[in-house]
Amino acid sequence: MAVRIRLTRQGRRNRACFRVVAMESRDPQNGRALEILGSYDPLPNPPRIQVNRERALHWLRHGALPTEAAQWVLETQGIWQEHTGKPGTMTVAPSPIEAAKAETPARSAGAPADA
């Protein structure tokens, strides 16, 4: 089975933090991880990111593929560039969570909802 490096949600409502984990691609989002590689807390400014570089590189060298969000976390730490030998594709891009917030259109209080 394929191994993916991805984020699992932790924390409480409106106070999410994430773990960077290596797990089977078919396991549920918050299922059992093969290994916890680090953490990502998006709420402080700047976001707090901690990743075990050696273990992340180990999984990447053994064929693990990161999700888009996990790749962003790896790029901010320089791990993805070290693995591929190329500059990152998302060097200045906002975090995936900030990008999702920006894409969500804001509704005004008086506007009727679409049916």
Tokens of residue 107, six digits: 């509704």
Residue range 19-72, pLDDT digits in tens: 999 999 888 877 888 999 999 999 998 889 999 999 999 999 999 999 999 999
pTM as predicted: 0.71
Q: How many domains is the chain built from? A: 1
Residue 19 belongs to a domain? yes
19: containing domain: 3-103
CATH number at residue 94: 3.30.1320.10
Residue 110 belongs to a domain? no
Residue 115 belongs to a domain? no
Residue 111 belongs to a domain? no
Residue 62 belongs to a domain? yes
Residue 83 belongs to a domain? yes
Residue 108 belongs to a domain? no
> Which residues are CB-contacts of 24 (< 8 A; sequence separation ≥ 6)?
1, 2, 3, 4, 34
pLDDT above 60: residue 115: no
Kind and range of the H or E run holding 99: helix 96-103
